[in-house]
Structure 1
Amino acid sequence: MLFDRCPILVRGGGDLATGVVHCLHQVGFPVGVVELAQPRTVRRRVAVSNAVYEGTAIIEGLRAERVKDVEGWQATVGEGAVPVAICDTIPDWIPPPEVIIDARLAKRNIDTCIDDADFVIALGPGFDAGIDCDVVVETNRGSRLGRIIDTGPAQANTGVPGIVAGYGAERVLRAPRSGTIRWQMQIGDPVEQGAVLGTVDGVDIHAPFDGVIRGLLHPDCPVEHGLKVGDVDPRLDAPCDEISDKALAIGGAAVEAILGWMKSRGQS
């Protein structure tokens, strides 16, 4: 790879994190991911976190493989793929990265420290650039999406999903109760308003309007009442297998931030 001497670790493998992984991998950085044992990723078709459940995830030609030790990690990187380790922290067997990116989008700083690596990036609200990390990347849609912030925080979490074809919060499917989810539909399926998409312990989940299912939580992930478990897109041609424009904007910002840091150190 072009930047073999600058390995990067991404914490989190959701759809936005995958935009970062994809952009970094495309320009030649060796990238690995650390993810939870039961990721709550809804847009699984465009998320490396799906490798946790399925063993392998392929997104726009990028291959991610679940690994359990340093041998698997190094072998996967050597094959030009992305290793995904399961751990809620950073395993001590992972080769030390030059750069760490907190892409968990928890809207708060869980445990990221500016001293975790030579260069630390965090995505979205909950971090102060210069204190918690070196830079923050703006994740809120709008004129500042993808901005690199070197002092202070990103914009505050709005708690409101972006508007798509006039629909906002109603696009989100939520668990009607706690329990085990069973889907009757698949990502990419067209749906009509009121159709039963799945159940949680016998309680139905209905389509809020006509559209296309863009995301569904993996059925192996237990759910709590009110948890986001799916996403319906009103656009009948919604690109369910493509990394989103938002994810790519954030990924491009991460690449820019890292290259700028390398330039400042006289590194290539």
Structure 2
Amino acid sequence: MNDFVVIRGAGDIASGIAARLFRAGFKVLLLECLKPSSIRTKVCFSQAVYDKTCEIEGIKAKLVNKDELLDSVGFIPIIIDECLDILNYIKPRALIDAILAKKNLGTNINMAPVVIAIGPGFCAGIDAHAVIESNRGHNLGKVILSGFAEENTAIPAEVKGIGAKRVIYANDSGNFKAIAKIGDIVKEDEIIAYINNTPVKASISGLLRGIINDNFEVKKGLKIADIDPRISEYENCFSISDKARSIGGGVLEALMYLENRNKNG
């Protein structure tokens, strides 16, 4: 089982990475937390934590335990493991930190022959062998072999001139109850969910691209929904994003480069 590429996280970016590596022939193992807070649930393998299995663009993922890894053929296994306990049982060929926490949550360069981290919070050459740029722009997906990715801007990318307003955050803590679903066309100020008895309203009119799982216990300030102002982008709600594909390509490049470098000395 030492030929797995282990990916920390199974959100939309991690899922795009996993899909690209899986299609390229790598054996992928995803690690997730007990209650993932992904909002783009139709394109996140983390949904398998709730539903036991899910499928993105024809690739299946299944929730398993470590004893079932040997039987994980033809799909991507996902394990609930926040603390990297799996490293006590397997020695992966590579480890990828795709949590996108904007800080290092325990990944270090000695965990595998190849360690790759996504976005800010890591220094290539110290925390990981390579860092992949995650900020949109000219360098998105770039392989960084020394130094840091760009700092987190904390500003969502603009879509049709709309940036921060298209992302909805919880105004309170409590139980989340969705009224709308991914792919629905919503109007500004329309109720799309409740937190306890408090309504959550659409911040703009558009296509509901992401919404957190029903009955999730949200904390104030947590990202809970995402609206795309482009009504014509319905199919994009159910496919891997351009950003995830670009970062996935960067990971694939880094992985192959670093493995060849290790092989050839």
TM-score, structure 1 normalization = 0.94
Partner SS for 1:49: helix
| 1:81-100 matches, cutoff 5 A | 81-92=75-86, 94-100=89-95
Partner of 2:62: 65
1-structure distance, mates of 2:127, 2:263: 24
Seen in structure 2, the aligned counterparts of structure 1 residues 175 and 38 have a Cα distance that, compared at 3 Å, is: same
Partner of 1:259: 256
Q: Are 1:48 and 2:42 an aligned pair?
A: no
Shift of 1:173: 1.2
Shift of 1:225: 1.2
2-structure distance, mates of 1:229, 1:253: 28
Shift of 1:237: 2.1
Q: Are 1:113 and 2:131 an aligned pair?
A: no
1-structure distance, mates of 2:89, 2:46: 17
Shift of 1:263: 2.0
2-structure distance, mates of 1:127, 1:29: 24
Partner SS for 2:237: coil
Shift of 1:167: 0.8
Seen in structure 2, the aligned counterparts of structure 1 residues 265 and 131 have a Cα distance that, compared at 3 Å, is: closer
Paired AA for residue 173 in structure 2: S
Shift of 1:7: 1.9
Residues 60 and 242 of structure 1 are in contact (CA less than 8 Å); yes or no, is this contact kept in structure 2?
yes
CA deviation string 1:33-57 (max 9, x = no partner): 0000011111010011110011111
1-structure distance, mates of 2:198, 2:69: 41
1-structure distance, mates of 2:172, 2:204: 21
Partner SS for 1:213: strand
Partner of 2:28: 31
Partner of 1:225: 220
Partner SS for 1:194: coil
Name which of structure 1's ranges 157-166 and 217-226 shifts more when overlaid on structure 2: 217-226
| 1:114-153 matches, cutoff 5 A | 114-153=109-148
1:181 equivalent among 162, 176, 184: 176
Paired AA for residue 21 in structure 2: L
CA deviation string 1:99-150 (max 9, x = no partner): 0000000100110110010110000000000000100000000001000000
RMSD: 1.4
Aligned residues: 261
Residues 176 and 204 of structure 1 are in contact (CA less than 8 Å); yes or no, is this contact kept in structure 2?
no
Paired AA for residue 225 in structure 1: K
2-structure distance, mates of 1:9, 1:248: 18
Partner SS for 2:13: helix
Paired AA for residue 107 in structure 1: K
Shift of 1:221: 2.4
2-structure distance, mates of 1:191, 1:211: 6
Identity of aligned residues (%): 38
Q: Are 1:103 and 2:98 an aligned pair?
A: yes
Partner of 2:70: 74
Shift of 1:5: 7.1
Residues 2 and 91 of structure 2 are in contact (CA less than 8 Å); yes or no, is this contact kept in structure 1?
no
Q: Are 1:211 and 2:206 an aligned pair?
A: yes
Name which of structure 1's ranges 175-184 and 219-228 shifts more when overlaid on structure 2: 219-228
Gaps of 5+ in 1: none
Q: Are 1:193 and 2:188 an aligned pair?
A: yes
Name which of structure 1's ranges 115-124 and 168-177 shifts more when overlaid on structure 2: 168-177
